[in-house]
Amino acid sequence: MKIPVAILGGTGSVGQRLVGELGEHPWFEITELCASDKSAGKTYAEATHWILSTPIPDSVCSKQVLPCSLPVKAKIVFSALSSSVAGPIEEEFASAGHIVISMAKNNRMRADVPMLIPEVNPEHLNLTRLQKYPSGGMIITKPNCSVIGLAMALAPLEARFGIESVNVVTMQSTSGAGYPGVPSLALFDNIIPYIEDEEEKLEMELGKIFGTFSDSGVIPHRMTVSATCTRVPVTEGHLEIASVKFRNKATLADVKDAWRNFGQPKFLEGLPHAPVRPIIYSDDVAFPQPRLHRDYEKGMAVTIGRLRECSLFDFKFALLSHNTLRGAAGGAVLIAEMLAKSQFKASQFCCQGCVREESTRSV
Amino acid sequence: MKIPVAILGGTGSVGQRLVGELGEHPWFEITELCASDKSAGKTYAEATHWILSTPIPDSVCSKQVLPCSLPVKAKIVFSALSSSVAGPIEEEFASAGHIVISMAKNNRMRADVPMLIPEVNPEHLNLTRLQKYPSGGMIITKPNCSVIGLAMALAPLEARFGIESVNVVTMQSTSGAGYPGVPSLALFDNIIPYIEDEEEKLEMELGKIFGTFSDSGVIPHRMTVSATCTRVPVTEGHLEIASVKFRNKATLADVKDAWRNFGQPKFLEGLPHAPVRPIIYSDDVAFPQPRLHRDYEKGMAVTIGRLRECSLFDFKFALLSHNTLRGAAGGAVLIAEMLAKSQFKASQFCCQGCVREESTRSV
Amino acid sequence: MKIPVAILGGTGSVGQRLVGELGEHPWFEITELCASDKSAGKTYAEATHWILSTPIPDSVCSKQVLPCSLPVKAKIVFSALSSSVAGPIEEEFASAGHIVISMAKNNRMRADVPMLIPEVNPEHLNLTRLQKYPSGGMIITKPNCSVIGLAMALAPLEARFGIESVNVVTMQSTSGAGYPGVPSLALFDNIIPYIEDEEEKLEMELGKIFGTFSDSGVIPHRMTVSATCTRVPVTEGHLEIASVKFRNKATLADVKDAWRNFGQPKFLEGLPHAPVRPIIYSDDVAFPQPRLHRDYEKGMAVTIGRLRECSLFDFKFALLSHNTLRGAAGGAVLIAEMLAKSQFKASQFCCQGCVREESTRSV
Amino acid sequence: MKIPVAILGGTGSVGQRLVGELGEHPWFEITELCASDKSAGKTYAEATHWILSTPIPDSVCSKQVLPCSLPVKAKIVFSALSSSVAGPIEEEFASAGHIVISMAKNNRMRADVPMLIPEVNPEHLNLTRLQKYPSGGMIITKPNCSVIGLAMALAPLEARFGIESVNVVTMQSTSGAGYPGVPSLALFDNIIPYIEDEEEKLEMELGKIFGTFSDSGVIPHRMTVSATCTRVPVTEGHLEIASVKFRNKATLADVKDAWRNFGQPKFLEGLPHAPVRPIIYSDDVAFPQPRLHRDYEKGMAVTIGRLRECSLFDFKFALLSHNTLRGAAGGAVLIAEMLAKSQFKASQFCCQGCVREESTRSV
Q: Do C188 and A179 touch (CB under 8 A)?
A: no
Which DSSP category does D65 fall into?
A: P
In chain A, whose CA is at the least distance from the CA of B314? A226
First vs last Cα of chain A: how many Å apart?
Answer: 32
pLDDT digits (tens, 9 = 90+) for B270-305: 999 999 999 999 999 999 999 999 999 999 999 999
Phi then psi for residue B244, to 5 deg, are: -130, 145
* pLDDT above 70 for D220: yes
Per-residue model confidence (pLDDT) at position D346 = 46
pLDDT digits (tens, 9 = 90+) for C40-51: 999 999 999 999
The CATH number of the structural domain formed by B145-322 is: 3.30.360.10
**H or E element at residue D353:** helix D352-358
pLDDT band at D355 (very low <50, low <70, confident <90, very high): very low
Per-residue model confidence (pLDDT) at position A216 = 87
Choosing among B292, B320, B325, which should be mutated to test the C contact, i.e. which has the most C CBs within 10 A? B292
Asked: is C3-143+329-358 a CATH 3.40.50.720 domain? The reply is yes
Per-residue model confidence (pLDDT) at position C112 = 96
Closest Cα of chain B to D13: distance in Å?
Answer: 10
Q: What is the rounded CA–CA span in Å between residue D33 and residue D43?
A: 10
Specify whether the CB–CB gap between D54 and A294 falls below 8 A.
no
pLDDT band at D165 (very low <50, low <70, confident <90, very high): very high
* pLDDT above 70 for C313: yes
Amino acid identity, position D70: L
Query: Do the two domains A3-144+329-358 and A145-323 of this chain adopt the same fold?
Result: no
Question: Number of residue pairs across A and B with CB atoms under 8 Å?
Answer: 120
Q: What is the rounded CA–CA span in Å between residue D329 and residue D298?
A: 12
Residue in C165, C224, C289 nearest the CB of D190: C289
Per-residue model confidence (pLDDT) at position D117 = 98
pLDDT digits (tens, 9 = 90+) for B121-173: 999 999 999 999 999 999 999 999 999 999 999 999 999 999 999 999 999 99
Residue in A13, A185, A235 nearest the CB of C181: A185
Q: At what angle do helices C145-161 and C252-260 cross, to 10 degrees?
A: 120
Chain D, window 188-247: residues with a beta carbon less than 8 angstroms from a chain C beta carbon? 188-194, 203, 224-226, 228, 230, 232-235, 239, 241, 243
Task: Give strand pairing partners of A138.
Answer: A99
The verdict on A293 touching D (C-beta cutoff 8 Å) is: yes
Residue in A13, A51, A235 nearest the CB of C189: A235
Q: What is the rounded CA–CA span in Å between residue C286 and residue B211?
A: 48
Closest Cα of chain C to A121: distance in Å?
Answer: 32
Q: What is the distance of C-alpha A61 from the center of its chain?
A: 26
Specify whether the CB–CB gap between A107 and A87 falls below 8 A.
yes
Here the ipTM equals 0.94
pLDDT band at D345 (very low <50, low <70, confident <90, very high): low
Mean pLDDT throughout B222-235?
A: 98
The CATH number of the structural domain formed by A145-323 is: 3.30.360.10
- Reduce the DSSP state of residue B88 to 3 states and report it: helix
Nearest Cα to Cα of residue B28 among B67, B71, B57? B57
Specify whether the CB–CB gap between A154 and A221 falls below 8 A.
no
- Which residues of A are tagged catalytic? 145, 238
Instruction: List chains adjacent to chain C, taking adjacency as at least 3 C-beta pairs closer than 8 Å.
Output: A, B, D
In chain D, whose CA is at the least distance from the CA of C187? D291
The verdict on C253 touching A (C-beta cutoff 8 Å) is: no
Which chain B residues are within 8 Å of A235, Cβ to Cβ?
Answer: 189
In chain B, whose CA is at the least distance from the CA of C233? B188
In chain B, whose CA is at the least distance from the CA of C286? B49
Mean pLDDT throughout B303-314?
A: 98
Mean pLDDT throughout D60-85?
A: 97
* pLDDT above 60 for B22: yes
Give C89-94's long-range contacts (Cβ < 8 A, gap of 24+).
C89/C8, C90/C8, C90/C139, C91/C139, C93/C8, C93/C137, C94/C131, C94/C133, C94/C137, C94/C138, C94/C139
Average pLDDT along chain B: 94
Choosing among A281, A292, A295, A325, which should be mutated to test the D contact, i.e. which has the most D CBs within 10 A? A292
Question: At a CB cut-off of 8 Å and minimum separation 6, what does B164 contact?
Answer: B223, B224, B244, B245, B246, B247
pTM of the model: 0.96
Out of A137-141, B207-211, B345-349, C216-220, least confident range: B345-349
Average pLDDT along chain D: 94
Domain ranges of chain A: 3-144+329-358, 145-323
pLDDT band at B345 (very low <50, low <70, confident <90, very high): low
Per-residue model confidence (pLDDT) at position D295 = 98
- The answer for A270, left when phi > 0, alpha when psi is -120 to 50, beta otherwise, is left
In chain A, whose CA is at the least distance from the CA of D46? A284
Q: What is the rounded CA–CA span in Å between residue C210 and residue C120?
A: 8
C98, C145, C229, C293: the active-site residue: C145
* pLDDT above 50 for B348: no
Q: What is the rounded CA–CA span in Å between residue A336 and residue B363?
A: 62
Q: Which fold is adopted by the domain A3-144+329-358?
A: Rossmann fold (3.40.50)
> Which portions of chain A are predicted below pLDDT 50?
346-363
Per-residue model confidence (pLDDT) at position A342 = 85
Q: At what angle do helices C13-22 and C330-341 cross, to 10 degrees?
A: 40
- Within chain B, strands assigned E span 3-8, 28-35, 66-67, 76-79, 99-102, 138-141, 163-172, 212-214, 217-219, 224-231, 238-246, 279-282, 302-309, 315-321
Specify whether the CB–CB gap between B8 and B93 falls below 8 A.
yes
Average pLDDT along chain C: 94
